[in-house]
Amino acid sequence: MKAIGIILAAGNSKRMRELTAKRATAAMPMCGTYRAIDYVLTNMAYSHVQSVAVLTQYNSRTLSEHLNSSRWWDFGRKQGGLFVYHPTITPDNSSWYRGTLDSMCQNIHFLKNSHEPYVIIASGDGIYRLDYNKVLDYHIEKRADITLVTADMQPWEDSTRFGQVKTDENGRVLDFEEKPMREESREVNTGVYVIRRRLLIEILENCMEEDRYDLVRDVIIRYRHVKRIFAYHLDTYWSSISSAESYYRTNLDFLRKEVRDVFYHGDETVLTKPNDFPPAKYNYGCSVKNSLVASGTIINGTVENSLIFKKSYIGNGTVIKNSVILNDVYIADHSYIENCIVESHNTLYANSNYVGEPDKVRIVVENNDRYIL
């Protein structure tokens, strides 16, 4: 592959509420078995990108531990593979990253020491499947300076929190509006870019001199008339984990066969750091409908339209509906959970009752002591 990859995973969104109190968005558990960043890493691996840098800063510990061996994503190479870069104090600089652009500026050595002619920049919280080679081919064919990938938002998503793109019939970007006041289109910027490596270095060096720190505002929007920026449209499933609601809805989307089919075919699946948990155990009296249940789980009660992540326990007579139960949750008998996200490692006592609303998911975080199992 003629490109290296950069994954932007340093930021935080307040709209994730309590969910990012203990890890970065890119480290959010997803779909029973994965973490959010696995999706973009899988895209990088299946596109045969040989060298990928993950830039991280906010609440990075869980993410670092998840990424501490590059082999899980087939990046295990003697030289290179997967690099995780954190803020560091150098003789020249002692600032934290001040924005997406600054995080790349502070790690410009990664770009300078590479040999590949192109760079793929992607954010760490996008859930989609894309062969970046197709975008690169498009980029070259259009003789673009920058190619950005657009996609249609999910029906439940609010487009005014994304960047909207207006293109001519050739795909060239005419205008770009970040978080517009009103929705013009369902097609938004996914935060995936292709750019020549030398051009990116040049842009970064200019921006460093001018104290510019934000990739979208200071590059995409600012250069939109002076550079040839093109849009490549991704026409399969795309979602971005940017709020508790979008996190919840994206997980539930995986109950739909047509969404799962985007990510799994035959031996091709989503790459992740795996575990050795035993298969899920279903006891007498349990009932599971339209749900995903990960390994290591024990189910006694009723589960409907929900995702049960790894190593959870659902008690007798307990009912889980339209909910996302993260890893290692213990829910005792005769509880009722609906429209909730239950944070990982929680213990809910017997006869608990937690109900959210379809449009306003409830996040359950209890610090109860775990029963001795």
Site membership for its own copies, residue 317 (CB under 8 A): no
Contact (CB, 8 A) for 259 and 237: yes
Q: CA 212 to CA 192: how far, in whole Å?
A: 20
Name which of 63 and 231 has its Cβ closer to its own copies. 63
Query: What are the phi and psi torsion angles at 263 (to 5°)?
Result: -100, -25
Q: Report the site for its own copies in 36-75 (rule: CB under 8 A).
A: 48, 56-61, 64-65, 68-72, 74
Name which of 142 and 273 has its Cβ closer to its own copies. 273
DSSP reduced 3-state for 41 = helix
For 102, counting Cβ atoms within 10 Å of its Cβ (0-12 exposed, 13-18 middle, 19+ buried), the class is buried
Tell me the closest approach of the beta carbon of residue 357 to its own copies, in angstroms. 24
Site membership for its own copies, residue 283 (CB under 8 A): yes
Amino acid found at 107 = N
Q: Report the site for its own copies in 8-37 (rule: CB under 8 A).
A: 12, 21, 31-33
Tell me the closest approach of the beta carbon of residue 276 to its own copies, in angstroms. 5
Site membership for its own copies, residue 86 (CB under 8 A): yes
Q: Which two tokens stand for residue 108?
A: 């410009």
Name which of 79 and 170 has its Cβ closer to its own copies. 79
Amino acid found at 367 = N
Of positions 176, 213, 237, 263, contacts its own copies by CB under 8 A: 263
Name which of 104 and 219 has its Cβ closer to its own copies. 104
Site membership for its own copies, residue 117 (CB under 8 A): no
Tell me the closest approach of the beta carbon of residue 185 to its own copies, in angstroms. 32
DSSP string, 220-276: IITTTTTS-EEEEEE-S-EEE--SHHHHHHHHHHTTSHHHHHHH-BTTB--------
Tell me the closest approach of the beta carbon of residue 365 to its own copies, in angstroms. 13
Size of the chain in residues:
373
